[in-house]
Structure 1
Amino acid sequence: MPPSSKLPPGPPGRFFSGNLHQFLPRRLDFFLDVAREYGDLATIRFGPRRIFLASHPDLIEQVLVTDAKHYIKHFGAQLYRPVLGNGLVLSEGDFWLRQRKLSQPAFLKSRVLTYAPLMGDLADRMLANWRPGEKVDVHYEFSSLTSAIALKTLFDLDDPGDREEFTNTLRESFDLMSYRIGNLLKFPLWIPTPHNLRLKRKVAHLYRVVDGFIAHGRARKEPGNDLLSRLIAARDEDGKPMTDRQLRDEAMTLYLAGHETTALTLSWSWHLLARHPKVEEKLVDEWKTVLNGRTPTVEDLTRLPYTDAVVTEAMRVYPPVYLIGRQATKDLELGGYRVPKGLTVFMAQWVSHRDPRYFPDPEEFRPERWLDGLASRLPRYAYYPFGGGPRVCIGNTFALMEAVIILAAVGQRFRFTLESHAPPEFEPQITLLPKDGIPAVLKRR
């Protein structure tokens, strides 16, 4: 049977703006409401642009795996190109495949595991500066730590001042990009508006810094153990290396992917643990039994199943990447409906991870649900915090190892008391940020 030319059901919208007035003030709840009211495939409209929201695992798998070669990154992701360039997140086709093959060896599990001691060491350095009774922003603390780890593993960068400058400039760039994305009227970047000029200055500064890292890496007589050195040394089938521009784009992309998402996983994990003391007690018991106060090593990872379950459940409840999208490059079919060329399909982890068909009591933080083999019983795309298909996150092993090591290193010495018991407020940008940080007080374990 040919696909229906009708649109899937969806919420009514305004004549000009469509559903933007419903989406902008409460985008997470909007996606959830649409999926629950209109089903596994729904239609929404942002201005003149129609979008499908796919929520069933089979539909998501069709987009990310079966028909992956006929989809490209969607219009929203492309708006981050001024910062991320043509790195793995945004590149397409043969160029993306070449870059993925060149980058993949740097992320082999055997190589990633060599970074575990560094992660533990930098976590210990952070903890040495903490004092009981001190007020902290949980997200700021873990963002600073994962930034230090990312800059050390990626660029072999040690200087705290350089780290802070780089991180702050990148965050300011993304804030400017997010402001631009939220505006209905977007002037092309070549038009010298004050906002565009500020963004271009920030991005130019970032590029100069990363270009300096690349020049330093190329000048080394012996390559280091950092990821940039491995990318510089990589060669394709024709023996050709990456250009400086390609290296810069990949470095920017890997820094963002290796820093922000893990920081959010840790931040939301501690926010949830502070609100669920019984879960935290079980976690502490596991650390006492396995680690007895030690900073975890690679050999400990398989002996910390409850710690792993806490991280997995935190990424289910508050997925750092809450939405992905793909744009059709030809007419396709999805769920019995025609997907015309150029249409974007959204898939929201925020929605999928709250589907009661697969996660009973989905709003509850319950790490135990993962301890009896749930992952092996779920449809493949009921839970997908790192995306999926050919474009699954290249650094997922790195991120999971980092989260488990840091969670255990921190939690054996400190706990957090939240300053507010109110539900968290979110600031969904390219990732799921806490709107005003996560204010807390440090308590000695």
Structure 2
Amino acid sequence: MPSDQLPPGPRGSSWLGGSLRDFTARRLDFFLDVARDYGPLASFRFGPRRMFLASDPALIEQVLVTDAKHYIKHFGARMYKPVLGNGLVTSEGEFWLRQRRLSQPAFLKQRVHSYAPAMAELTRRMLADWRPGKWVDVQYEFSGLTSAIALKTLFGLESTEDRATFVEALREAFDLMSARFRTVLAVPRWVPTPANRKLKRAIRHLDTVMDGFIAAGKKRAAEREGQGSTAGEAVDLLTRLLAARDEDGSAMTPRQLRDEAMTLYLAGHETTALTLSWAWLLLAQNPAAEDRLVAEWKAVLGGRSPTPDDLPNLPYTDAVIAEAMRVYPPVYLIGREATKELELGGYRVKKGYTIFMSQWVNHRDPAYFPDPGAFKPERWLDGLAKRIPKYAYYPFGGGPRVCIGNTFALMEAAILLATVGQRYRFTLDPAAVIDFDPQITLLPKYGIPATLAAR
């Protein structure tokens, strides 16, 4: 029988907010401290909400896999519905399953590989504007690049003037919603506060631009169909989603198409941009690892961009990406809310309780990653991924809701890393302050300022 007692955990710094103040002030360290001080299953409050932190891989697997059908996305994730709508990240139940089924064929390995030439070409266009000695913000540059790639592979569109304002509105909306997450009692969105009015304007702008992207993508798909397919031509994801049919022959509604397009656009650029940004920071700080990486590219690629066929021959590149996502996971926290009374780790999980699982915590567990704070790509070269528990390392989540675009993201990261890295290295600004801004993803708080140097 599960215990009616709560797992051990911090009492919190305030009677009303519980641990919310500590979480807000030092989010990443808060989870590390809770896991270290209270063990594999800990408990705390955010205002009236009861939270558990599961840090044992077996408990995480129970939540994400074994008992997955009895959990939904937690309240914090649901806060992002005004932007993401009812897409794959936020939808639940049979609706989610239908959308996943309709979207899955677009992410088959062969189809994902067809986007590689566009990824390489857009990277080369970015490099054409670079010069040795130029100052850049690494995160800004790669965010712009992966955003352009998402626009091309999702809608078949080249970069547009709308993209920059779209990304700005997206960031503003997420900043405002993240602020709501940090309050005990958020003001309802219908109350016309200054923050709510700004959020409403940002969402209205996002919808207008996304509708324009979809309309332009549909027009391009129609033109392409009228001209006949070109052998070997990559078909954008929007075209595949438009053509997708469920078992009963039904297609996505316009609203469903908008929600999935918004979700895929966001997921298709931000996490990969962060993976690359953090990877270049770590490589700049670890020149021996960078030298080994460049030697691999020289031996295998000889200066050209990699193709999907090259990727199995780039094991150290793969290890660098894996290690960057271990040290600085772009998605550092996921949560699930119980829809019925359950058991976890010998404790009773009541309906409505939230289970947090933190990649930031698990990826730093010295039991599986000796010297966890060090950047050591070579740790992945001797079969580590197969030796450790599955949920000791889970940068793309897990279970039925594992990220649908993980193959796309890993291929994109490898192609962009090698294409850029054979031409340039990044010298960090010695006065740079590198800090974290953990929102829905793990952002660099002040960017990553660096100077370009030719190879």
Q: Which amino acid aligns with 1:53?
A: L
Contact 1:214 1:244 in 2 (8 A): no
Deviation at 1:429, TM superposition (A): 0.4
Contact 1:272 1:314 in 2 (8 A): yes
Deviation at 1:174, TM superposition (A): 1.6
C-alpha separation in 1, matches of 2:17 and 2:142: 38
Give the structure 1 partner of residue 159 of structure 2: 159
Give the structure 1 partner of residue 8 of structure 2: 9
What do the CA deviations read for 1:100-119 (whole angstroms, capped 9, x no partner)?
00000000011000000110
Give the structure 1 partner of residue 228 of structure 2: none
Question: Following superposition of structure 1 onto structure 2, how do residues 77-226 of structure 1 map, counting pairs within 5 Å?
Answer: 77-219=77-219, 220=222, 222=224, 225-226=235-236
RMSD, matched Cα: 1.3
Instruction: Out of 319-328 and 161-170, give the one that drifted further.
Output: 161-170
C-alpha separation in 1, matches of 2:215 and 2:449: 40
Give the structure 2 partner of residue 318 of structure 1: 328
Change (3 A) 1:67 1:402: same
Deviation at 1:159, TM superposition (A): 3.3
For structure 2, the residue ranges without an aligned partner over 5 or more in a row are 226-233
Give the structure 1 partner of residue 265 of structure 2: 255
Deviation at 1:222, TM superposition (A): 4.2
Deviation at 1:290, TM superposition (A): 0.6
What do the CA deviations read for 1:380-426 (whole angstroms, capped 9, x no partner)?
10000000000000000000000000000111110111113777310
Q: Which amino acid aligns with 2:153?
A: T
C-alpha separation in 1, matches of 2:194 and 2:436: 28
C-alpha separation in 2, matches of 1:129 and 1:305: 30
Deviation at 1:169, TM superposition (A): 2.1
Q: Which amino acid aligns with 1:161?
A: E
Give the structure 1 partner of residue 22 of structure 2: 22
Q: Which amino acid aligns with 1:320?
A: P
What do the CA deviations read for 1:262-317 (whole angstroms, capped 9, x no partner)?
00000000000000000001001101101111111112111110000000000000
Question: Following superposition of structure 1 onto structure 2, how do residues 40-439 of structure 1 map, counting pairs within 5 Å?
Answer: 40-219=40-219, 220=222, 222=224, 225-420=235-430, 424-439=434-449
For structure 1, the residue ranges without an aligned partner over 5 or more in a row are none
Contact 2:275 2:330 in 1 (8 A): yes
SS at match of 1:437: coil
Instruction: Out of 402-411 and 179-188, give the one that drifted further.
Output: 179-188
With the length of structure 2 as denominator, give the TM-score of the two structures.
0.95
Deviation at 1:214, TM superposition (A): 2.8
Of all paired residues, the percent bearing the same amino acid is: 71
C-alpha separation in 1, matches of 2:271 and 2:217: 26
C-alpha separation in 2, matches of 1:421 and 1:374: 36
Deviation at 1:184, TM superposition (A): 3.4
Deviation at 1:216, TM superposition (A): 3.8
SS at match of 2:365: coil
Q: Which amino acid aligns with 1:153?
A: T
What do the CA deviations read for 1:300-346 (whole angstroms, capped 9, x no partner)?
11111000000000000000000000000000000000000110000
Instruction: Out of 238-247 and 16-25, give the one that drifted further.
Output: 16-25
C-alpha separation in 1, matches of 2:223 and 2:454: 46
Q: Which amino acid aligns with 1:309?
A: A
Instruction: Out of 98-107 and 159-168, give the one that drifted further.
Output: 159-168
SS at match of 2:45: strand
Contact 1:217 1:232 in 2 (8 A): no
SS at match of 2:289: helix
